[in-house]
Structure 1
Amino acid sequence: MLKNYITIAYRNLMRNRVFALLNILGLAIGIACAIIIYMYVRQETSYDAFYQKADRTYRLTMDFKLEDNLDSNARSSLPIFEKMVREVPEIEQSTKIREFNQAFIQYENTKLEEKELWYADEHFFQIFNQRFLHGTPVNALSKPNTIVLTESLAKKIFGRTNVVGKTLKVDENKTYQVSGVIADVPYNTHFRFNGLVSMVSLYKTDMYKRWRKCPDCLRIYGYVALKSNTNFNATQTKIKNLFKEETSNGYLKKVALQPMLGIHLTSKLNGEIQANGNLQFVYTFSAVALLILLIAAINYMNLATAKSMNRAKEVGIRKVMGSYRSQLIAQFLTESLIVVYVSLIGGALLVDLLVPLVSQIAPQPLSFKVFDRQFFFLLFLGGTVLGLISGLYPAFALSGFKPVKVLKGKFAHQKSAVNVRKGLVIVQFTISSVLIVSTIIAYQQLRFMQDQSLGFKKDNLVAVSLSTDRMQQKARVFKQELLNNSQVKSVTLTTNVPGSWTPSRNYTRFVNQQTNDTTTIIVPTHGIDYDFVNTMGLKLKQGRDFSLQNATDTTKAALINEAMAKKLGWQNPIGQRVANFAIKGKIVGVVSDYHFRSLHDKIEPTVYQLMPRKEYYQFALVKVQGKNLSSTLSFIESTWKKFEGNRLYNSFFLDQNFAKQYRADQQREILFVAFATLAIVIACLGLFGLAAYTVERRIKEIGIRKVLGASVANIFKLISYNFIVLILIANVLAIPFSYWLMNSWLRDFAYHINISWWVFGVSVVLVGLTALLTISYQTIKASLANPVEAIRYE
């Protein structure tokens, strides 16, 4: 029986090649889009899942609250972490890590900069299991001055991986012995690294001893693995009770465990290790995949039911010959499944061709393995479900024909079937219109973020990394050397630069001189040098800038931004007292607000201060003339080499560095545009098929009208009118839904556009023109055909 179904299905598809091809092409494109989106979603939702204890691994987080300012942090302090590990018996293992910062690595003639080095304690591999190529995880980080390298970094330094026992220099004054080499860390983890330095190296330092005595000093990231079958909520309550005293009497308000598996998509804490993903985008792309598949499935339903007249006699004869309705349904579903399975093959081939291109655009590289057992099973299962859903309505509609009426030639298209087809076309183009509107608004928002004034003059600003102890000590001498060049307008030093800012947040106390009211809050503190305001092109709103003429500015003066002044609520903050870890003095000036990070984030109230120690400065900001850029950049580099010799020089333009923050947004926008375009293409393939069938069904009517004097324009209007009405209805339905959808999306941005009504007009025009062009070929072809041939038809 199945063989018979397949044979009949094959013959029918061959008999209607054009419609079969339209169906297969539309489904193949839809399936390819869905597979690519599925790969992205699976990768986003699988972060850290490859660790053996991932489902019971947690990160310690700490919340502080001062006044109305809540500071939720991914970092934790050593005393709090150690007390928790000591007092909570449900904890099976624990480990702590800390960033090493950018390092200069030397081995013989090899010299390179490495940004992904971290300190990790001796228990790290008990929680974060890695595949060791050389060495063993047991003692890899148990001794001071040892380092574990990834395969890639080992090859960069040594040219091979079997290097256990070799020594290398880091930052010229530290020597480490390689104790292990591991396989490269997978991309889908919230903590990527290229090398791990033993934290044991820090245990005897004065700095580490100070950290152990400071419960408010957030210096580590702490992780624990709970014992199997532990009740997480009960453990969370136990931790809350354990720190009841600490959270009741001070600024610390909450100590809690955060599931590691949720970090990438749901965690938005201060001090995150790297930029996390966006759960909203995962939902959005998942919805787009389903909508594209729905459009492709609607194509099949529409074309299958539209061709029902051609198969009415076949159904009638089969019923007269004794076929049951269930057998006819099975036959039509088999036909649907064959179309979908062929489309699956086409879709998989398309994905194989497109993955390398998409990986260059996507926020992260994608991998496609069609012969992966799990993927193959999901593909087959998904294809079967799609085939059944697509074929179910046509199967029931076709199998329901009355044989007597059909064989007597009294069969006519059921009004209900026609209405269903119209409804499905409306659904298709409503989805397409929503996608077009969403794409335009998303593009506008991206352009708004990129073009918005940042509050500082970013052009011709060069940031030079001061990554070595020598350069930090000689930073001001380096600054003076640069100022000797007439092409250099100004130079300043800073702890951070816009676009790469991880703020240092500190307890800061403000005292109103008039009322003696005290406000203590945790605020970002930005270490700057003289001439920062001038070099950045900021405006002094009140007071003065730091000055070399005021020797006490180093420890007794601070600048604040407008947001800070507004938060404090003081009309005149100049002269009011301020104190934190480095200064105890007065506010001497208020500078204009500017964006240190992307427009995803609000401008934060910030304190600016001179650094008491030169090693805090990480960058020199150099404002250069717009002319002779090449020679000026060469001068900056050669000046650097006077101090650092052949050490790798690292500089970048500030505007380019700031723009990098929007790279993920740009990549998502490109993908969204591509998927929206493909959705419209698939919808138009179905519309093309329906137009072709409409012309075929009304060919005699068209011929008679032409004989009676109808013009090409009349015929075009006759065929196109119903389709255009459906497209307009679809656009009307799409407008309120897309407005609500994108308004909700824009609320997640700190700064965003207002939706303009012309966007919906553009969508109507685009969809209308696309639909007209799609059906024009068939209608014009019918209009120009010889009417005699049409009348002789059948």
Structure 2
Amino acid sequence: MERKPTSARSGAGTPGPARPPRWATRLLASWSHPDTREELQGDMLEMYAYWLESLGKPPADRKYALAAIRLMRPFARQKRSNDYSETYSFSAAMIQNYFKIALRNLLKSKTFSAINVLGLALGMACSLMIMLWIRDERAVDAFHTNNGQLYRIYMREYFSGKVQGVIWTPGLLAEELKKSIPEIEMSTPYSWTNPQTFSVGNKIHKQATNWASADFFKMFSYKLLQGTPEGALRDKSNIVISRNMAEAFFGSAEAAMGKAIRYDNRKEMTVSAVFENIGTNSSLQFDCLMTWDAYTDDNGWARDWGSTDPLTFFKLRKDADPAKVATKMLHLLDKTNRDAGKPYKTQLAMQPFHEYYLNSNIKDAKMDGGRIEYVRLFSFVAVFILLIACINFMNLATARSSRRAKEVGVRKVVGAMRSMLAGQFMGEALLIATLSAILAVLLVALLLPAFNSLTGKQMVLPWSEPMFWGIIAGLLAATGLLAGSYPALFLSSLNPVRILKGALKFDSSSVWVRQGLVVFQFGLSVILIVGMIIIYRQVGFVQNKNLGFDRENLVYFPIEGELFKKYDILKAQLTQVAGVKEVSHMTANPASNGNGTEGITWPGSDPNDKVRFTPVGVGYNFTKTMNLQMADGRDFSKDFPTDSSGVLVNETAVKVMGLKDPVGREINWGRSKIRIVGVLKDFHFQSLHTAIRPLIAYLAVREPQGSVIVRIQAGKTPETLTAIERICKKLNPNVPFTYAFTDQEYARQYQSEQVVGKLAGYFAFLAIFISCLGLFGLAAFTAEQRTKEIGVRKVLGASVAGIVGLLSKDFLKLVMMAIVLASPVAWYIMKQWLQGFAYQIDIEWWMFVLAGVIAVLIAVFTVSFQSVRAAMVNPVRSLRSE
């Protein structure tokens, strides 16, 4: 085609033909390829001349500018004169070709492919199970329609410059909230859960029972099968029961409505509603609910502002400002005279109900910590294990880099761009990640029942939920991109000239990256191993620690029904049983006692200070039955009638009161004077999460309540329990006999720690296993790079053991470095975890040494396998020139 560039030129000093916009011409010159720039400009000038003649100047300018913009290559860098790269696009054919190549490479190297898929699958399966567990934890209480408006009250008590938080509140508080704060629409007290006996005809069952106000079912979204939220707890004779309870007593939910059910063999209650069985996604668990008015009829002290017992929940109006409500309720108790005449003040605070389950601990008078700490912990564990699996993939990919190097070199020589090669390797990583994700889902489906058994959950794979598949897709994408990024960038950066000359060597930066990945892998593994050791030690410590009493062969059962009146007969008959050593009773139970009183004062006590004592009513022979030790004085005795106004205190109480000779001293309990008759050596009556509190034990023989405690002779448990049950059924025929062993109930207090310990052990094992796959990859990579060196050394007389030691020492250095770097991190993490226990083990040096030895031994075994394999190769093959 003939060019007419002069059509756009002007002669010197004379006006020439019109020219296109300069900015468009410059833009075209800047973004066009050097090889086609002149031809493209000529064609564009010819088109401009045609547009100018047929359309005129303004339209021609517009068309020229628009064409120049269209000819730009978006997102391209400005081309240099020596850049001869060609444009490309990821077409369907190219993606299909990448898939075929990736599949062929997987089938060609079956061992490496299997290790890659297995390593990623294990990491993804662990992460997926942890994600399901976290999802289940965060779903607790999320089903309530009014969740954003529901809150819980807790109290902050200020005294002597200190502040402490209390979750239990006055029973009168719920109604006062509605009266005093208009933004509060509904409120309810909620008592502690207590197994109670119910009967209909000959059917007698114990059910987990709670008490609440009429607003309860209007606030919370528990599904009612029969009845209405408004009428469920309208009358004090009403009872709302679960589907299971309705079917157990009446056959069905429909048949239960309006029927009478006898409570504690002394009250007739009417079924006013039936609710669906409460699932594990609710923090409030109960089989039936009765009205708060019925509770206060049986417990008159609950009408006193000075008594605390229930939790208090309330619902805000939708337009209410929580911050303003919190300010209003701060001093609400001031007008109740609850703190009148006392040297301390109580303030109210509120917590969103959706945080109640995960944030249940009080720290510095604020709701802080609880199960949320385990959610955070396992979130990090999930990320760590997935990172370890991805690092394992990176190391294995780079270990095979020399086998893929010639492929990269040939592709580059024939014109493949780096981005195309990187895309290919990323595609291979995504393919492996996809296969791993499929295997991971199958593993989770297989292992989920065992995981549920371990964690006490009822999780299922939510196949029908889009969010689940979104999590799978996100996990797959994150794993594929993370695992494939470094190999893709590394392999695509190889120099084709050096590759095809056979001079492929790797610079120090790439070596440092791979070694750093191994250090990071084993560092995370060491942290998990140290955590496992410390958790196991702490759980063992709290379960086996001397509590100050003998919890073995100690049985207790509730005083209920006819046993209130027949306790003396019961005790007399129990003492005649051959296997019974001692019998007594207490108002709490031996495994847990959280009661408190602040009414204790003594001569010289600070009126501005506030000390919370734990009171417990006991019977005669209490110390013998519990195997408690006396530090001073004596036990209660029928030989001393004045013991009815006497008390036993523990050593902590003596320290708090500052009494040098406490026995015989008088102290005050409210307005009553009491006398200390004995001092008990400290013993634990709560879990080891809590420090031993001051204890005051009083004689409660007129109206025994709480629990009967029985010391059984070792080796005679079955026959003795049978005899006890026979006596209880005879004296108390309308109440089923239930009992508990103190040691088992005590162990249940640490169930969360036991689960965490087991999970830490499993995750530590998997982390080490996956890390070893990565170490195996690096060992294979190093052996490949040093093939000729090994051959030369063998020709010169080096032994197999010497070569194995040569190849292994570098890896052991990496593992030792990981141990050194990870140990301080592990110490800090576990120190924070141990802060949740008032009594804890010391973190000792040998724990880190043991974790290091485990890591080193596993690493040595892994590396030695590959090193021996490399050392056994015939040196003739190693030195053969290709």
TM-score, with structure 1 as normaliser: 0.93
Query: Which of 62, 73, 93 in structure 1 is aligned with 2:155?
Result: 62
Give, in angstroms, the shift of residue 710 of structure 1.
Answer: 2.4
Counterpart for residue 843 of structure 2: 755
C-alpha distance after superposition, 1:367-396 (max 9, x if no partner): 322442112102211321222122222222
Contact 2:143 2:221 in 1 (8 A): no
Using the aligned pairs only, state the percent identity: 36
Counterpart amino acid of residue 564 in structure 2? Q
* Cα distance change, pair 158–206 in 1 and its aligned pair in 2 (3 A): closer
* Cα distance change, pair 453–200 in 1 and its aligned pair in 2 (3 A): closer
Counterpart for residue 869 of structure 2: 781
**The 10-residue stretch of structure 1 (749-758 or 314-323) with the greater mean CA deviation from structure 2:** 314-323
In the TM superposition, 1:282-361 aligns within 5 A as 282-361=375-454
Q: Counterpart of 2:153 in 1: which secondary structure?
A: strand
Query: Which of 118, 126, 145 in structure 2 is aligned with 1:33?
Result: 126
Separation in 1, partners of 2:605, 2:190 = 45
Query: Which of 235, 241, 266 in structure 1 is aligned with 2:325?
Result: 235
Counterpart for residue 156 of structure 1: 248
C-alpha distance after superposition, 1:93-151 (max 9, x if no partner): 2222224632112223322222x211222211111111222333231222332222222
Counterpart for residue 666 of structure 1: 754
Separation in 2, partners of 1:516, 1:420 = 65
Contact 2:359 2:371 in 1 (8 A): yes
Separation in 2, partners of 1:697, 1:408 = 16
Query: Which of 800, 812, 822 in structure 2 is aligned with 1:734?
Result: 822
Counterpart for residue 723 of structure 2: 635
Separation in 2, partners of 1:302, 1:553 = 76
Counterpart amino acid of residue 120 in structure 1? A
Q: Counterpart of 1:553 in 2: which secondary structure?
A: helix
Counterpart for residue 525 of structure 1: 615
In the TM superposition, 1:583-598 aligns within 5 A as 584-598=673-687
Matched, 1:485 2:589: no
Separation in 2, partners of 1:515, 1:354 = 60
Contact 1:704 1:787 in 2 (8 A): yes
Separation in 2, partners of 1:467, 1:276 = 36
* Cα distance change, pair 594–749 in 1 and its aligned pair in 2 (3 A): same
Matched, 1:216 2:306: yes
Counterpart for residue 656 of structure 2: 567
Counterpart for residue 595 of structure 2: 504
Counterpart amino acid of residue 864 in structure 2? S
Separation in 2, partners of 1:309, 1:681 = 25
**The 10-residue stretch of structure 1 (102-111 or 292-301) with the greater mean CA deviation from structure 2:** 102-111
Contact 2:803 2:867 in 1 (8 A): yes
Counterpart for residue 373 of structure 1: 466
Separation in 2, partners of 1:247, 1:140 = 32
Counterpart for residue 625 of structure 1: 713
Q: Counterpart of 2:375 in 1: which secondary structure?
A: helix
Counterpart for residue 603 of structure 1: 692
Matched, 1:745 2:833: yes
Contact 2:360 2:371 in 1 (8 A): no
Separation in 1, partners of 2:608, 2:819 = 58
Give, in angstroms, the shift of residue 592 of structure 1.
Answer: 0.8
Give, in angstroms, the shift of residue 572 of structure 1.
Answer: 1.9
Give, in angstroms, the shift of residue 542 of structure 1.
Answer: 1.9
C-alpha distance after superposition, 1:464-486 (max 9, x if no partner): 32232x10221122112222335
Give, in angstroms, the shift of residue 602 of structure 1.
Answer: 0.8
Q: Counterpart of 1:710 in 2: which secondary structure?
A: coil
* Cα distance change, pair 277–739 in 1 and its aligned pair in 2 (3 A): closer
Contact 2:224 2:276 in 1 (8 A): yes
In the TM superposition, 1:72-111 aligns within 5 A as 72-99=165-192, 101-111=194-204
C-alpha distance after superposition, 1:158-190 (max 9, x if no partner): 343333233322212222222222222221332
Separation in 2, partners of 1:518, 1:348 = 62
Separation in 1, partners of 2:717, 2:312 = 46
Query: Which of 512, 524, 528 in structure 2 is aligned with 1:419?
Result: 512
* Cα distance change, pair 180–99 in 1 and its aligned pair in 2 (3 A): same
C-alpha distance after superposition, 1:726-772 (max 9, x if no partner): 11221122222222322232233111111221112212211111111
Counterpart amino acid of residue 432 in structure 2? V
Q: Counterpart of 2:711 in 1: which secondary structure?
A: strand
Counterpart amino acid of residue 761 in structure 1? V
Separation in 2, partners of 1:385, 1:538 = 59
Matched, 1:535 2:615: no
Q: Counterpart of 2:279 in 1: which secondary structure?
A: coil
Separation in 2, partners of 1:394, 1:518 = 69
Q: Counterpart of 1:498 in 2: which secondary structure?
A: coil
Separation in 2, partners of 1:179, 1:191 = 20
TM-score, with structure 2 as normaliser: 0.84
In the TM superposition, 1:680-695 aligns within 5 A as 680-695=768-783
Contact 2:583 2:711 in 1 (8 A): yes
Query: Size of the alignment, in residue pairs?
Result: 782
Q: Counterpart of 2:151 in 1: which secondary structure?
A: strand
Give, in angstroms, the shift of residue 295 of structure 1.
Answer: 0.5
Runs (5+) with no aligned partner, structure 1 = none
C-alpha distance after superposition, 1:444-470 (max 9, x if no partner): 1111111211101222222132232x1
* Cα distance change, pair 515–135 in 1 and its aligned pair in 2 (3 A): closer
Report the structure number with the largest CA radius of gyration.
Answer: 2
Counterpart for residue 143 of structure 2: 50
Give, in angstroms, the shift of residue 525 of structure 1.
Answer: 0.8
Counterpart amino acid of residue 727 in structure 1? V
Give, in angstroms, the shift of residue 577 of structure 1.
Answer: 2.8
Give, in angstroms, the shift of residue 277 of structure 1.
Answer: 4.2
Separation in 2, partners of 1:359, 1:682 = 24
Give, in angstroms, the shift of residue 202 of structure 1.
Answer: 5.0
* Cα distance change, pair 260–25 in 1 and its aligned pair in 2 (3 A): same
Runs (5+) with no aligned partner, structure 2 = 1-90
Counterpart for residue 229 of structure 2: 137
Give, in angstroms, the shift of residue 243 of structure 1.
Answer: 4.0
Q: Counterpart of 1:162 in 2: which secondary structure?
A: helix
**The 10-residue stretch of structure 1 (401-410 or 763-772) with the greater mean CA deviation from structure 2:** 401-410
Separation in 2, partners of 1:229, 1:340 = 48
Contact 1:316 1:401 in 2 (8 A): yes
Separation in 1, partners of 2:823, 2:806 = 27
* Cα distance change, pair 306–229 in 1 and its aligned pair in 2 (3 A): farther
Query: Which of 666, 669, 673 in structure 2 is aligned with 1:580?
Result: 669
Q: Counterpart of 1:292 in 2: which secondary structure?
A: helix
Name which structure has the greater RCO, CA cutoff 8 Å, separation 6+: 1
Contact 2:800 2:871 in 1 (8 A): yes
Counterpart amino acid of residue 117 in structure 1? T
Give, in angstroms, the shift of residue 683 of structure 1.
Answer: 0.5
Give, in angstroms, the shift of residue 298 of structure 1.
Answer: 0.6
